[in-house]
Amino acid sequence: MKYGIAIFPSKKIQDFANSYRKRYDPHYALITPHVTLKEGFEIADDQVDDVAKDLVQVAKQTKPFSINISKVSTFSPVTNTIYLKIDPNESLTSLHNQLNKVEATPEKDTFQFVPHITIAQKLSDDEYSDVYGSLRMMDVSFEDLVDRFQLLYQLDNGSWTVYETFRLGEE
């Protein structure tokens, strides 16, 4: 099955992101707003609990940390994706790197890690210009505590179900 690893920010941030995703993100109904830590990767059914054990170790060794969001940004011209940008954060990057080193999940991310919460994607060029033109001016300011991450799997319809939660820093 296809698994992924993500952080769900607090309800306040998710509600804010959804107010845009509802109109501008075709993945709106597939998963609630999130920060992807590890893109979709395959795990055999009989190996998922081994992977989960490794994730427990990573979680234990990571202390809860704060993240800040202070601007709207974009992956254009690569894709017409607009997102809430998470300010550079060593704890988050370190967590990402560790999760992508977990032995049983050897796929490497192809892109540099740019932590973000998508609020619009797969827009036409015209729509993208309109939407980003107005969103880029927006004042956004959120601080959030990250104290857990989640391992999810994807259903046939594209939606994601949480398999397990991993609390940071717990023995």
CB of 44 to a second copy, least distance (A): 13
The only residue of 44, 138, 145, 162 in contact with a second copy, by rule CB under 8 A = 162
Q: Which residues contact 51 (CB under 8 A, 6 or more apart)?
A: 3, 43, 102, 104, 105, 151
Q: Which of residues 63-122 bind a second copy (CB under 8 A)?
A: none
Is residue 171 a contact point for a second copy (CB under 8 A)? no
Is residue 50 a contact point for a second copy (CB under 8 A)? no
Between CA 164 and CA 1 the distance in angstroms is 15
- DSSP H stretches of helix in the chain: 11-24, 48-60, 90-99, 125-135
Inter-residue contact 130 to 141 (CB < 8 Å):
no
Between CA 75 and CA 131 the distance in angstroms is 14
CB of 6 to a second copy, least distance (A): 10
Catalytic residue list contains 27: no
Between CA 105 and CA 46 the distance in angstroms is 13
Q: How many residues bind a second copy (CB under 8 A)?
A: 25
Is residue 153 a contact point for a second copy (CB under 8 A)? yes
Catalytic residue list contains 116: yes
The only residue of 15, 42, 87, 143 in contact with a second copy, by rule CB under 8 A = 15
Question: How many other C-beta atoms can be found within 10 angstroms of the C-beta atom of residue 94?
Answer: 14
Which active-site residues does the annotation give? 34, 116
- Binding-site ranges for a second copy (CB under 8 A): 1, 8, 11, 14-15, 18, 22, 28-30, 32, 148, 150, 153, 155-157, 159-165, 167
